[in-house]
């Protein structure tokens, strides 16, 4: 079923009002309105000629750690200068109403937590943290030295951003918690994601497999669209406040 940004179907409002357990998956689209670009949007300025798929990989880091760190320094600056938008805020509000709520995000920008979301599963890590490329040492934001690339305070090896790069495995426990949330919820929302990056793209299908209704919020069609019970065509920053407002306003 389709709906314009401000036309939330009444049956969805009723379903959400009675939902006891909601799982939400977000992708970079929800942060686009905060000024953090998605990977599939052209990069700007200095970075316009680079494809993120060629920078966010272990191979790129092995080949040219300075280039990869410079790109991450630019992206960290974008994230630091960004603020959560009305889409992030609507999800934080939704969490306050639903008895069991899990927010699974592919985003590494921490904007959900800054909007007030509590139960957040960060599938792909967090761009503001660093980790040692050799051992299990994590550095919180601001703890890195200023060298490029910065080095591990314990063993001296290069630090890397604490994110999951293309071609890398996700932490098993994190992934299991996300799949469990998709299986056990009674409504699943997929927001601002192209539904192309695995394994995150399988989460709504896990929900569908258990006959859970799936809602998609995206201005564009994705491979999930034909399977979604509700495909709300529009921007997350407009659709989500309208949805949450229709249920609890």
Catalytic residues: 124
Count Cβ atoms below 10 Å from residue 211 Cβ, excluding itself.
Answer: 7
Contact 161, 61 (CB under 8 A): no
**Cβ atoms < 10 Å from Cβ of 95:** 21
Query: Rounded to an integer, what distance in angstroms lies between the CA atom of residue 179 and that of residue 169?
Result: 15
84: contact with ligand NAD by CB under 6 A: no
Q: Does 182 bind ligand NAD (CB under 6 A)?
A: no
47 binds ligand NAD (CB under 6 A): no
Residue 218 near ligand NAD by CB under 6 A: yes
- Asked if 117 interacts with ligand NAD (CB under 6 A), we say no
| Interface with ligand NAD, residue 107, by CB under 6 A | yes
DSSP string, 148-178: SS-B-TTT-PBEEEEEPPTTPPPPHHHHHHH
Q: How far is the CB of 154 from ligand NAD (least distance, A)?
A: 27
By the rule CB under 6 A, 68 interacts with ligand NAD: no
Cβ nearer to ligand NAD, comparing 147 with 168: 168
Q: Give CA–CA dist 135/152, Å, rounded.
A: 9
Residues that bind ligand NAD (CB under 6 A): 27-33, 36, 38-40, 106-109, 124, 192-194, 196-197, 217-220, 222, 235-237
């Amino acid at each position: 079923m389709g709906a314009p940004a401000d036309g939330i179907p009444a049956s969805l409002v009723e379903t959400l009002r009675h939902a006891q357990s909601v799982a939400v998956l977000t992708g970079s689209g929800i942060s686009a309105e905060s000024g953090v670009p998605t990977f599939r949007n052209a990069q700007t300025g200095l970075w316009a000629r680079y494809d993120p798929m060629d920078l966010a990989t272990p191979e790129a880091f092995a080949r040219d750690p300075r280039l990869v760190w410079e790109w991450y320094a630019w992206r960290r600056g974008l994230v630091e200068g960004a603020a959560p938008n009305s889409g992030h805020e609507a999800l934080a509000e939704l969490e306050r109403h639903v008895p069991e709520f899990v927010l699974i995000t592919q985003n590494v920008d921490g904007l959900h937590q800054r909007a007030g979301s509590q139960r957040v599963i960060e599938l792909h890590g967090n761009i503001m943290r660093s980790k040692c490329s050799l051992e299990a040492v994590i550095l919180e934001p601001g703890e890195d030295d200023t060298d490029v690339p910065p080095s591990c305070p314990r063993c001296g090896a290069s630090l890397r951003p604490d994110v999951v790069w293309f071609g890398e495995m996700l932490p098993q426990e994190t992934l299991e918690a996300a799949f469990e949330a998709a299986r056990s919820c009674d409504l699943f929302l997929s927001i601002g994601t192209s539904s192309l990056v695995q394994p995150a793209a399988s989460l709504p299908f896990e929900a569908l497999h258990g006959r859970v209704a799936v809602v998609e919020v995206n201005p564009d069609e994705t491979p999930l669209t034909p399977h979604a019970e509700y495909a709300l065509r529009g921007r997350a920053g407009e659709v989500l406040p309208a949805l949450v407002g229709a249920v609890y306003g």
